[in-house]
Amino acid sequence: MDKNLDEHSNSFPHEDKENNTNAADHTPRSPLLESEDNVVDGDGETEKAGDVDNVEREAGDEKKEEENEEGVSFEDTPETPPPNLEKLLEDIDKFFAATTYDNNDNNEEMIPEFVDKFLYLVEEKIARYDSNQTKWGETVEEDSLLLEGVNRVSKLVKFLTTIITDFQSGEEEKKEGDEEEDKKGDEEEEKEEKKIKKNHSVLLNRVGAIQQRAMAYLEEEFRLLMEESRIQNKPDSSHDAKGKHAATPEPSENESAETFMDFPGFKEEAVTILNKIAREMLFAGYDSECCHLYAVSRKHGFGDGLYRLGYERISMEEVHKMQWESLEREIPTWINTFKECATVWFPGERKLAASIFAEHLSVADTLYTNLTRVVVFQLLNFAESVAMTKRAAEKLFKFLDMYETLRDTIPNLDKLYPEEIVYEIKAEMTSAKNRLGEVAVLIFCELENSIKSDTGKTPVAGGAVHPLTRYIINYLRLACEYKDTLEEVFKEHSKIERADSTSRPNYDNQSQNENQKSNEKENVSPFAAQLTRLMELLDANLEGKAKLYKEVPLSCIFMMNNGRYIVQKIKGSGEIYAVMGETWCRKRSTELRTYHKNYQIESWSKILSCLSPKGLNDNGKVHKPVLKERFKSFNALFEEIHKTQSTWVVSDEQLQSELRVSISALVIPAYRSFLGRFSQYLDPGRQTEKYIKFQAEDIETYIDELFDGNPHHQAMVRKKA
Amino acid sequence: MPATTENNQSSFLGRISIRRNQVMSMEGNHDQELEDLELFQKHVGDRFADLLSSTTEDPSSDALLSIGWLRKLLDELLCCEAEFKAVVMMGRDPSQISKPPLDKLLPELLDRVVKSLDVCNAVTLGLDAIRNLQRLAEIAVVALEPRPMGDGQVRRAKKALHSLVTVMVHEDKECGSTKGTERSRSFGRRGGNAGNKDRVRSLSWTMARNWSAAKQIHAMSSNLAAPRGGDLTGLALPLYIMSTALVFVMWTLAAAIPCQERNGLGTHLPFPRQLPWAQPMIGLQEKIAEEWKKKEKKGSVGLLEEMQKMEKVGQLLIEFADSFQFPAENERLDEVRVHVEELADICRKMEEGLEPLQLQIREVFHRLVRTRTEFLHVLDQAGKLSTPTV
């Protein structure tokens, strides 16, 4: 090494001293300069230039070339340049180690001669790759040798640039101090330095050109690898790319989970190579090129991925105008996409960037952030625009699904994003989440309106369960499957309401009511309060509807039917039962019993009074005409009740049998004993037949026909009559 | 949020709270209302006049359609919007907003708001694409800055500049006609034929299929009719002013920043010549439309001042690179240094300005969403009041 250095330092002064002008430098004087001219030739012709170079060199250094090809090592003969690249790499490393070790000014000038050989070999190697004589990926050794070579080229560029800049700044200093110094004595030295500088810059030009060519090649290789890697990922799942709703949700979910588990699906060796290339490009200062390629490729890769998930961008206006039926179908796709992104794709994307740019994690973070931020914003825009659509009760559950998706993702953002950006993303996501939450609360509160505005004047036939009851209760049951989310949304929303207190008079009133109520009953959440209020409103509405019936017992049946339906449904669902509470249910059951009692009184007290022995016994004597009258009116009343009440409806079997049992218990024993006591006073035969129309068993049968909603029973009565 | 908006809002809110109290005493608030309306008109006029003058009188200020200028424009929009809401909504009886002619005009405005949101999104994507252009330009700057200038650097710069210029044209073309290209674009070279040197691929994300900035803006402005007669003193006027400002700003954004499908963007917006507050807007519109016409002929990328410059300097530097020979003459180097510095300056402006601009557009987005929600709420209230509950 030392020897080399010495030799080289001698070799420079040999060169033409007159050559001070920059322009007229066309005669090749040393291998260094000779190759230079060729490289200058032009952009598109680099390859050719390389070939020409080869030819010229072959002519000049035939011997060396042969030796090189044979791979014979010549390190011990200083005149012959070291022929193989590995050895040259070592030499260059040694050279760098030495120069950085004692970094004094004089060393700068001494560029060892083997640098020339090295450059020649590297250039040749690049040319072979560039012209596809050597293909990337054929032999790992060759590839890494190329990268090693490129690495040293980059080092040379840096080294030479430093020398030249140092020299320039030194020159400027010199100029300043010129006056004091002895000009004559310096002149020679200065000339010398200028010449060296010129040689250096000529060398730098050559090295820079080689570097550029290498970078252009690596750039292309990097790009192809990126593209191939993402194309490889395609065929497995291209079949569901045809239509967004092609696959049924369930299996496709599983499928996609499998396919994209290792999103973005780059092969490990590809990542290793990409990392190596990226490292060299970044080392060479070609980071912008590398990042640009990466960013563009991933953008398209990610876009394709989204498309394959069935996610298609819809403009906000389109969402706004869409029919709910269509929009409803987009929402699960969105949720699926969002979750896939948040749990698999984004982490995968971040990992990919971090593996390829392993030595420059801040670069990786920036690339990752810039890519995914756009995706996140687009996804959030959909959520925002969904929240902007016209409110409707049926949308609540889908909105809550979306809300939950966002809510569950937000806490993970810290893991997904670098610190600098996480705040912004979080704010955006929270904004979309809140918007959905606000709308959910409004929709839920608007149920009040749909209860209040149900003011139809036609009673439901037979006192059956009102459609409004069915709708509201089933809706609430469903809503209570989202109980925790709704609780949360209600709490969050009242916070928001307080935060911006711009004119919302009506809601303020509502929340005041809420506050009052929650003062009354402690620990009642706003959601539970709202639910209770809805129940009360429903009750009030039903009571109004009950009044529409002309017969009081029928309105009792109506209230029982509806009340029963409500209690049963609420008991049947753990979630809503938990909110409404046991006390509430017990209270409702008590109310139901009251209605039952009222019904009995209203419907059966009159008929029972017929069976009362009171007024029949006149001093131990049975007044026959009165008895006859009693039987007659009992028969008439019972027939009447049977006729009307068998058209009434109690569809709840238990309630139906409860009613029948209680009626039987009321009527049959009374009738039986009445019969037992007084039938003897009627003459057997015609008279008995005329007044005793029913046996106790008949009564039982007829009672069992009540509340069937079946008008044909009356015919049977008539037949019998 | 920029300080200007804050100031403007706070000073304005002070005034509004006075008005709010006066509303209570239903009598005599009509005069106050007229005064408010007049002030609103004046402020809008002044704001846009500022924007107009900053382009002509003071060369040191932000040039028309530069990033700085666009940020000012958005500031003005935000101010207008805040003041508009104060004039029309705050302290007002909801029923006033729901009766004619507002029952028709307000939903129309809200519809424009929805359309504007899409424009905001499209422009945001456009800014993302511009950032990629910036990156390419930076390569050229980095390559051409260090001395001595060698072949390698020049080739490197040339390569970057070529893709910069190609991408600019491509981006614009793509943005100009999206029909059927989206698929092929997003899938790129599906066949994966290696060695394909066609590297011209769009840098921007696409909006929804068939979405068109030009159509959107056309739809926003087509039903924009100036109030007449008695409406000129009523609430119809501020609604009209707000709509006009919104349409103008969205149109300008779409013209300046590449976004999907802009054919026909050059058509004139129907602004009222007779109303004083609209004059500066008309002035601006004429200038921008003129630029647009030139652009359409030349087929260059969006009107953003920095991009126009970037393209010009890019061309100059390509010329330099084409004729470069090592070693370069000093005069040529000095000459090119000026251009490189210019390009570096543009990149710096983009580096500093694009991110805030993007955030500001997002702010406009959120503000519009919020305002829309608030108006809908007021309309709800009005609806509830008019249909008595049982």
Q: Which residues contact B192 (CB under 8 A, 6 or more apart)?
A: A227, A228, A231
Q: How far is CA B353 from CA A379, B55, B56, in A?
A: 25, 18, 22
Nearest-angstrom CA–CA distance, B262 and A200: 53
**Which residues of chain A neighbour B201 with C-beta distances below 8 Å?**
296, 300
pLDDT value at position B364?
Answer: 97
What's CA B359's distance to the chain center, in Å? 13
Cβ contact (<8 Å) for A320 and B150?
no
pLDDT value at position B9?
Answer: 43
pLDDT category at A418 given cuts 50, 70, 90 is very high
Interface of A with B in 303-322 (CB under 8 A): 303-304, 307, 312-318, 320
Tokens representing residue B89 in the block? 């909504």
Q: What is the DSSP string of B127-156?
A: HHHHHHHHHHHHHHHHHHSSSS--HHHHHH
**Nearest alpha-carbon partner for A642 in A568, A584, A718, A585:** A718
Return the DSSP state at A171. H
Task: Map out the domains of chain B as residue ranges.
Answer: 101-386
Residue with the two structure tokens 């810059």: A201
Contact predicate A203/A157, CB 8 Å: no
Return the DSSP state at B259. -
More confident residue, A686 or A343: A343
* Nearest neighbour of B390 by CB, restricted to A215, A453, A502: A453
Cβ contact (<8 Å) for A313 and B152?
no
Tokens representing residue A249 in the block? 């949700």
* Nearest neighbour of B152 by CB, restricted to A212, A316, A435: A212
pLDDT value at position A523?
Answer: 63
Tokens representing residue A664 in the block? 């039987």
**Chains A–B, number of C-beta pairs less than 8 Å apart:** 156
**Which residues of chain A neighbour B131 with C-beta distances below 8 Å?**
370
* Nearest neighbour of A208 by CB, restricted to B114, B151, B187: B151
Cβ contact (<8 Å) for B90 and A502?
yes
Alpha-helical (H) ranges within A73-182 are 85-101, 114-130, 140-177
Contact predicate A53/A38, CB 8 Å: yes
Q: What is the mean pLDDT of residues A440-453?
A: 91
**Nearest alpha-carbon partner for A630 in A645, A649, A615, A647:** A615
Query: Which residues partner with A622 through β-bridges?
Result: A617
**Which residues of chain A neighbour B326 with C-beta distances below 8 Å?**
36, 40, 205
Angle A419-452/A526-546 helices, nearest 10 degrees? 20
- Coil, strand or helix at A251: helix
Nearest-angstrom CA–CA distance, A338 and A318: 20
Nearest-angstrom CA–CA distance, A229 and A617: 107
A21 interfaces chain B, CB cutoff of 8 Å: no
Give the Cα-Cα-Cα angle A123, A127, A130 (nearest 5 degrees): 135
Q: Among all residues of chain A, which has the CA nearest to that of B91? A: A503
pLDDT category at B341 given cuts 50, 70, 90 is very high
Interface of A with B in 354-413 (CB under 8 A): 370, 374, 377-378, 381, 384-385, 388
Q: Which residues contact A208 (CB under 8 A, 6 or more apart)?
A: A157, B150, B151, B152, B153
More confident residue, A223 or B209: A223
Query: Based on C-alpha coordinates, what's the Rg of chain B?
Result: 24
Nearest-angstrom CA–CA distance, B255 and B251: 6
Angle A140-177/A114-130 helices, nearest 10 degrees? 130
Q: What is the mean pLDDT of residues B7-14?
A: 44
Interface of A with B in 143-172 (CB under 8 A): 161, 164-165, 168
Cβ contact (<8 Å) for A201 and B150?
yes
Q: How far is CA B309 from CA A275, B68, B132, B303, B315, in A?
A: 36, 15, 16, 10, 10
**Nearest alpha-carbon partner for A405 in A345, A336, A349:** A336
Q: How far is CA A718 from CA A633, A642, A667, A685, B171, in A?
A: 16, 11, 21, 21, 89
Q: pLDDT per residue over A40-65, tens digit each?
A: 334 443 444 434 444 444 443 333 33
Q: Among all residues of chain B, which has the CA nearest to that of A540? A: B390
Instruction: Return the amino acid letter for B254.
Output: A
More confident residue, B127 or B327: B127
Q: Among all residues of chain A, which has the CA nearest to that of B358? A: A374
Asked which of A436-445, B100-109, B145-154, B360-369 is least confident by mean pLDDT, the reply is B145-154
Bridge pairing between strands A617-618 and A621-622: antiparallel
Residue with the two structure tokens 């200093």: A173
Q: What is the mean pLDDT of residues B144-148?
A: 77
Q: Among all residues of chain B, which has the CA nearest to that of A22? A: B327
- Coil, strand or helix at A692: coil
* Nearest neighbour of A205 by CB, restricted to B151, B160, B189: B151
Number of other CB atoms surrounding residue B50 within 10 Å: 14
* Nearest neighbour of B194 by CB, restricted to A204, A224, A292: A224
Cβ contact (<8 Å) for B114 and A316?
yes
Contact predicate A331/A398, CB 8 Å: yes
Nearest CA-CA distance, residue A50 and chain B, Å: 14
Q: Among all residues of chain B, which has the CA nearest to that of A224? A: B194
- Coil, strand or helix at B313: helix
A435 interfaces chain B, CB cutoff of 8 Å: yes
Q: Is A182 exposed, middle or buried (0-12, 13-18, 19+ CB in 10 A)?
A: exposed
Which run of H or E residues covers position B112? helix B102-144
Report the residue of B155, B259, B372, B384 to disrupt the A interface, i.e. the one with the largest count of A CBs within 10 Å. Answer: B155
Number of other CB atoms surrounding residue A408 within 10 Å: 14
Number of other CB atoms surrounding residue B43 within 10 Å: 19
A429 interfaces chain B, CB cutoff of 8 Å: no
Q: Is the peptide bond before A264 cis (omega within 30 degrees of 0)?
A: yes
Q: Among all residues of chain A, which has the CA nearest to that of B187? A: A304
Give the Cα-Cα-Cα angle A279, A280, A281 (nearest 5 degrees): 95
Q: pLDDT per residue over A105-130, tens digit each?
A: 544 456 777 778 888 888 888 888 88
Q: Among all residues of chain B, which has the CA nearest to that of A213? A: B152
pLDDT category at B196 given cuts 50, 70, 90 is very low
- Note the pTM of the prediction, 2 decimals: 0.80
- Coil, strand or helix at A12: coil
Tokens representing residue B87 in the block? 């004039």
Q: pLDDT per residue over B304-338, tens digit each?
A: 999 989 999 999 999 999 988 877 778 888 888 99
Query: Which residues partner with A621 through β-bridges?
Result: A618
Cβ contact (<8 Å) for A312 and B186?
no
Angle A396-409/A467-481 helices, nearest 10 degrees? 10
Cβ contact (<8 Å) for A388 and B372?
yes
Q: What is the mean pLDDT of residues A160-172?
A: 74
Predicted confidence (pLDDT) at residue A505 exceeds the cutoff of 70 = no
Cβ contact (<8 Å) for B208 and A503?
no
Q: Among all residues of chain A, which has the CA nearest to that of B138? A: A288
Contact predicate A339/A331, CB 8 Å: no
A299 interfaces chain B, CB cutoff of 8 Å: yes
pLDDT value at position A241?
Answer: 38
Residue with the two structure tokens 């100029």: A175
**Which residues of chain B neighbour A374 with C-beta distances below 8 Å?**
125, 128, 205
pLDDT value at position B362?
Answer: 95
pLDDT value at position A713?
Answer: 53
Report which listed range, A260-274, A431-445, B79-93, is most confident.
A431-445
Residue A51's φ and ψ, nearest 5 degrees, are -65, -45
Tokens representing residue B283 in the block? 């002035």
Predicted confidence (pLDDT) at residue A664 exceeds the cutoff of 90 = yes
pLDDT value at position B62?
Answer: 81
Query: Is the torsion defined by CA of A136, A140, A141, A147 positive or negative?
Result: positive
A288 interfaces chain B, CB cutoff of 8 Å: yes
Q: What is the mean pLDDT of residues A465-473?
A: 94
Tokens representing residue B325 in the block? 């020979």
Tokens representing residue A490 in the block? 């209600």
Q: How many residues does chain A have?
A: 721
Cβ contact (<8 Å) for B327 and A303?
no
Tokens representing residue A517 in the block? 């109520």
A709 interfaces chain B, CB cutoff of 8 Å: no
Q: What is the mean pLDDT of residues A86-110?
A: 66
Cβ contact (<8 Å) for A208 and B152?
yes
Which run of H or E residues covers position A617? strand A617-618
- Coil, strand or helix at B264: coil
Give the Cα-Cα-Cα angle A618, A619, A624 (nearest 5 degrees): 35
Note the ipTM here.
Answer: 0.86
Nearest CA-CA distance, residue A248 and chain B, Å: 23
The mean pLDDT value of chain B amounts to: 80
Percent of chain B whose predicted confidence (pLDDT) is above 70: 79
Q: Among all residues of chain B, which has the CA nearest to that of A214? A: B152
Predicted confidence (pLDDT) at residue A275 exceeds the cutoff of 90 = yes
pLDDT value at position A175?
Answer: 60
Predicted confidence (pLDDT) at residue B261 exceeds the cutoff of 90 = no
Instruction: Return the amino acid letter for A228.
Output: E
| HEC-encoded secondary structure of A421-433 | HHHHHHHHHHHHH
Q: pLDDT per residue over A319-333, tens digit each?
A: 999 999 999 999 999
Contact predicate A642/A706, CB 8 Å: yes
Residue B210's φ and ψ, nearest 5 degrees, are 65, 5
* Nearest neighbour of B150 by CB, restricted to A168, A208, A216: A208
* Nearest neighbour of B148 by CB, restricted to A201, A316, A505: A201
Q: What is the mean pLDDT of residues A512-530?
A: 63
Cβ contact (<8 Å) for B205 and A303?
yes
**Nearest alpha-carbon partner for A116 in A82, A93, A145:** A82
Predicted confidence (pLDDT) at residue B26 exceeds the cutoff of 60 = no
Return the DSSP state at A649. B
Predicted confidence (pLDDT) at residue A308 exceeds the cutoff of 90 = no
